[in-house]
Amino acid sequence: MTEGLRADDAGVLLLSRALATVDPRGVLVVHAGALPGLRGPATRIVLDVRELVGARDRCIRADDGPALAALRDFSDAAVWPRAHLGKDFSFACLALGARALRPGGALWCCARKQKGAQSLADAMVALLGNVETVARDEGYRLMKSVFEDQRDLALAQQWIDVRYAFTEPVLGPLPMHAAPGVFSRRELDDGTRQLIAHVAAWADRVGAAPAVVLDLCAGIGPLVRFASVRFEHARLLAIESNLVAASLLRDNLADARDRLTLWVRDGLPPPAQASREDGGVAPGSVSLALVNPPTHAERGALVALLRGLRPWMAPGGDAFVVVSRAGVSSEGLHEAGAHVDATTVAGYTILYAHWP
Ligand SMILES: C[S@@+](CC[C@H](N)C(=O)[O-])C[C@H]1O[C@@H](n2cnc3c(N)ncnc32)[C@H](O)[C@@H]1O
């Protein structure tokens, strides 16, 4: 399941109930997943490829700027703020919804107090000049703003256009580009930094020169960028399911474009499916895997992600996984047939897995 999306969540159900009687052809669902209870297919903005599986809605990919800009004339826009992705992402979602409304249309948003409901209400007032709380359940507050006669499109555009860039010596001289809705958007994540330092020291010690480096759950690509700089002859494989992150990764690795294969998908494919993926990286060929796994993934999903390494690792291959709690990831690596050692550094655990 995609992090932050649960069809049975009390807040999602509040949103669904509010829209249950509306003509779904006029409904824009902004990053809320498939809302249960709609009378038919709506238009839905999706951030992650996993949201496309089995979708009956008309799905618009979050990395498709022109398609997003063309969204107009909706009677309702429902926003589900995914708190772990940050306030800037929630604001951009509200802005996408507000921009797409027709006069008289309504912007809906559901959030808990602890997850910033008041700042979202303030943002709705900034965009449309009004907000009303129309229902509450299990700590959630369902908020509604109506596009009456005032809409701040300049502000909406400003929130939609937010972009970030940061540089890190260990990632080479070029900036890493990022945007709301992706992990580690303003700076290098601390866990990623620890993992890079650890792998760099290991590579010095053993004289590592991996032929194929995999970055599983690559985000905007700091680990694969590090690998491109540190192992300048390695073939690079990056896997990421977030569409916006994957699109940024492609830009962030432009310098190593000829060596890079990017698969925008849910984890590693089963080997039988590998021939259908492009890029020519074969099962059994990964000599070094680097992983900073999703912290909000459910236990089963995380184990499955790491278990998927098994058929891709080369004999004698090595993997490094950085986590804040080792248990689940260690289990996934054991299920992948690896020998696992753990080292603790600066509040993180780095799991070293090897396939003898
Ligand atoms: C903790 S972030 C790490 C990102 C990057 N490696 C870094 O160090 O900054 C985990 C990433 O895994 C991605 N992800 C989560 N589940 C995934 C899946 N099933 N398949 C591929 N990527 C996934 C998320 O979108 C997120 O970008």
Domain 164-354 has CATH 3.40.50.150: yes
Rounded CA separation 177/119 (Å): 26
Query: Which atom of ligand 1 lies nearest, measured to the CA of 188?
Result: 9
- The residue contributing the CA closest to ligand 1 atom 7 is 219
CB contact at 8 A, 304 and 331: no
Could you tell me which of 79, 71, 64, 72 has the C-alpha nearest to residue 29?
A: 79
Convert the pLDDT of each residue in 204-255 to its tens digit: 999 999 999 999 999 999 999 999 999 999 999 999 999 999 999 999 999 9
Q: Does the CB atom of residue 292 touch ligand 1 within 6 A?
A: yes
Which CATH code, of 3.40.50.620, 3.40.50.150, 3.30.565.10, 1.25.40.340, is assigned to 10-160? 3.40.50.150
Q: 245 near 29, Cβ under 8 Å?
A: no
Q: Which atom of ligand 1 is nearest to the CA of 189?
A: 9
Instruction: Say if ligand 1 is within 6 A of residue 218 CB.
Output: yes
192 Cα nearest atom in ligand 1: 8
337-350 pLDDT per residue, tens = 899 999 999 999 99
Atom number in ligand 1 closest to CA 195: 8
pLDDT at 3 over 70: no
CA separation for the pair 18, 77 (Å, rounded) = 11
**Considering only CA atoms, which residue is closest to atom 11 of ligand 1?**
217
Roughly how many angstroms between the first and final C-alpha of the chain, as a whole number?
32
46 phi/psi in degrees, rounded to 5? -120, 140
Same fold across 10-160 and 164-354: yes
Report pTM: 0.95
pLDDT band at residue 77, thresholds of 50, 70 and 90? Answer: very high
Distance of CA 94 to the CA centre of its chain: 18
- Residue 2 Cβ < 6 Å to ligand 1: no
Locate the domains of the chain by residue range: 10-160, 164-354
What distances in angstroms separate CA 73 from CA 58, 103, 122, 244, 340, one per listed residue? 15, 8, 24, 25, 55
Give the residue whose CA is nearest to atom 8 of ligand 1.
Answer: 192
- Pairwise CA distance, residues 213 & 122, whole Å: 45
Region of 186 (left: φ > 0; alpha: ψ -120 to 50; beta: rest) is: alpha
| C-alpha–C-alpha distance, residues 15 and 143, integer Å | 9
Confidence of residue 295 (pLDDT cuts 50, 70, 90): confident
Higher pLDDT residue, 326 or 251?
A: 251
Q: What is the C-alpha to C-alpha distance for residues 249 and 35, in angstroms, rounded to an integer?
A: 30
CA of 50 to the centre of ligand 1 (A): 12
Residues of the chain with pLDDT > 70, as a percent, come to 97
Residue 211 corresponds to which tokens in the numbers above? 């032929």
Tell me if 239 CB under 6 Å of ligand 1. yes
Can you read off the two tokens belonging to residue 108?
């809906």
Mean pLDDT of 111-120: 91
Order across the sheet with 339-345: list the strands: 260-264, 235-240, 212-216, 286-291, 313-323, 348-354, 339-345
Q: Copy the structure tokens of residue 223.
A: 């680990």
Ligand 1 binding pocket includes 294 (Cβ within 6 Å): yes
Instruction: Residue 319: count other Cβ atoms within 10 Å of its Cβ.
Output: 25
Is the CB of residue 51 below 6 angstroms from any atom belonging to ligand 1?
A: no
Give, in degrees to the nearest 5, the angle at Cα 29 between 28 and 30. Answer: 110
Tokens of 203: 């590579």
Residue the block writes with tokens 């809605």: 57
Per-residue confidence (pLDDT) for residue 274, from 0 to 100:
72
| Beta strand pairing call for 313-323 and 286-291 | parallel
Residue to mutate, 3, 241, 325, ligand 1, most ligand atoms under 8 Å from C-beta: 241
Tokens 């995999």 found at: 214
Whether the per-residue pLDDT at 185 is higher than 80: the answer is yes
Checking if the pLDDT of 279 tops 80, the result is no
**How far away, in angstroms, is 191 Cα from ligand 1 center?**
13
How many other C-beta atoms are found inside a 10 Å radius of the C-beta of residue 229? 16
On the question of pLDDT at 277 being above 70, the answer is no
Mean pLDDT of 176-181: 97
pLDDT-derived band at 36 (thresholds 50, 70, 90) equals confident
Cα–Cα distance measured from residue 347 to residue 356, given in angstroms and rounded to the nearest whole number: 29
- Give the whole-angstrom CA distance, residue 265 versus residue 303: 17
Mean pLDDT of 273-283: 74
